[in-house]
A and B are shown apart, each in its own frame.
Chain A
């Protein structure tokens, strides 16, 4: 048995995901700097900039979790290794997204309520006075491009690794065009003299951040309280887990099957039944293709109490 928490067959896709996340952090930093240089007083720009900065949280948490999963070994103090570090990272990212999303929404609504008029003045470039809004639009357009490519590359890896942190990051990146479009509309609206466009666009972006945060929070807390395994992209129950449950239930019809998730792995408890006479690896119970059998890390049998058996 591997001394680290990561199943052997996931080492190669995990290495690719780590490389991709380093690129993700690099491109996100270029976006943060570009946007930061032209922030001005625009509420839209500030919100979009904070959202981009928050975009660093999932890849950083992923890299920390991946490092611990790959390099930290099981020990007396941590006999189960660090397979749940990923879940903890997912929870931290979810809390950050939710809290900042709520704060940004509050700010945007306050700006709308108090009818704040954002000032976006001019800047001198090569001797010419240019409205800062044009640079904001250019920065917004630039901020759309890297996440689109990174999100597309992350998605298949997240599915292969069954990594919720990576999957949330991929979805956030892929959906970035929506917030980008809201940001562009906000700046153009501001330029057209619609003072409310800026705060409205900021509110739309913050609702998107908040929505991502709440979804991630629901899924991550479910794992932390030993809830049934959840699907990658939603709070619904995982289909993989449902199939495992059905498979175990078919072989042990009188038993109660309980499933939980530790990071990317599923652990099953089969209550009120005796284990089969022959020795079986947990992967034996995986119902579908062998490629994903690594997900089922443990199947434990809890026999009925003697008194129950007699009755």
Chain B
């Protein structure tokens, strides 16, 4: 019984050890206690779900969000180069950027049924631990994200 419990704990520990980030985003955020966020549309700053998402990530990482200005395509370029950790915006469900960045589950959906527009976070491709953190935070604050 004790051996089983010890094995289960070991397994849980191993489960938590992976994944790691190729470019070390999570480790850097943990070390510097800062992560950088930009909004694809500055008007989103007042959206309650954006604030709640950033607060949830701050709580989970024990780091502070540092806001960066900018908009549109250059932000994705900066995200791809690792100069920004997170871009939050309203993106179409079949965004052409889907192959270049990773999207977290949508926090909310607007627009028409044929062309839905999703409020969601974009993260640098391949940074799997950091992606998981943002995905977990999205699910924690949004029922829609949880149901995806």
Contact = CB atoms under 8 A, between A and B. Distances in A.
Contacts of B23: 117
B135 A193 contact: no
B128 A190 contact: yes
Interface residues of A, number: 20
Interface in A123-146: 124, 129-131, 133-134
B2 to A, nearest CB: 24
Contacts of A122: 131-132, 135-136
Interface in A112-168: 116-122, 124, 129-131, 133-134
B131 A134 contact: no
A192 interface: yes
Given A190-B19, A193-B19, A193-B24, A120 B136 contact: no
Interface residues of B, number: 20
A131 B126 contact: no
B139 interface: yes
Contact of A191 (B19, B125, B131): B19
A194 interface: yes
A205 to B, nearest CB: 20
A261 to B, nearest CB: 48
A148 to B, nearest CB: 25
Interface in B20-61: 20-24
Contacts of B124: 117
Contact of B135 (A116, A117, A129): A129
Contact of A133 (B19, B125, B127): B19
A74 B44 CA distance: 76
Chain A at the B interface: mostly helix, strand, loop or mixed?
Answer: mixed
Interface string B101-136: 010000000000000000000001111100110011
Nearest to B147: A124
Contacts of B135: 121-122, 129
Interface in A76-123: 116-122
Contacts of A191: 18-20, 128
Contacts of B126: 116-119, 195
B77 to A, nearest CB: 15
B83 interface: no
A133 B18 contact: yes
A134 B15 CA distance: 8
Contacts of A194: 22
B68 interface: no
Contact of A193 (B21, B125, B146): B21
A83 to B, nearest CB: 49
Contact of B128 (A116, A119, A124, A130): A119
A207 B146 CA distance: 40
Nearest to A195: B22
A133 B131 CA distance: 13
B144 to A, nearest CB: 13
Interface in A155-203: 188, 190-195
Interface of B: 15, 18-24, 102, 124-128, 131-132, 135-136, 139, 146
7 contacts: A117-B125, A122-B131, A124-B146, A131-B15, A131-B19, A192-B19, A193-B20
Q: Which 9 A-B pairs have CB atoms at the shortest separation, nearest pair first?
A: A117-B126, A193-B20, A191-B18, A195-B22, A119-B102, A191-B19, A122-B132, A193-B22, A117-B125
